[in-house]
Amino acid sequence: MKYLIPIVLMLLSQTPALANSAYENLAFALRQQKITDDLRHKCQIPSTVTDEQLQRRFLDSTHDNSAVLSAVKALTENNQKRYQTFLSQVKCPE
């Protein structure tokens, strides 16, 4: 019984960190899906192409991907105006 209180306190002190981590993971996944969907739409990439294949197309592309990286950063900063600006500058891979 004397160990119960320290164990409960330890678990409670870690709960916010775990919740923040889970929230950050969810937020990352949602941003990743949004940019993937937006790139798929902009570049008219069919849904038969998996997300992983789409990402690989951009990574393997000879185009400068700085607009994609800037769009991701703007999305992370929740700046929709800059996100749309950079997204419009993305060059689609062949």
**Domain range for 31:** 4-89
| Amino acid making up residue 74 | A
Does residue 9 lie in a domain region?
yes
Q: How far is CA 70 from CA 4, 53, 73, 81, in A?
A: 49, 21, 5, 12
- The answer to whether 30 and 75 are in contact (CB under 8 A) is no
In a domain, 66, yes or no: yes
Residue 77 lies inside a defined structural domain of this protein:
yes
Q: Specify if 29 maps to a domain.
A: yes
Q: Is residue 69, in this structure, part of any structural domain at all? A: yes
Q: Which pLDDT score, from 0 to 100, does residue 83 have?
A: 93
Q: What is the pTM of this model?
A: 0.72
Number of structural domains in the chain:
1
Distances (CA, A) of 8 to 2, 19, 52, 63: 11, 17, 42, 54
Q: Quick check: is 82 in a domain?
A: yes
pLDDT along the chain (94 residues), means of 10: 45 50 82 91 93 86 84 90 95 86
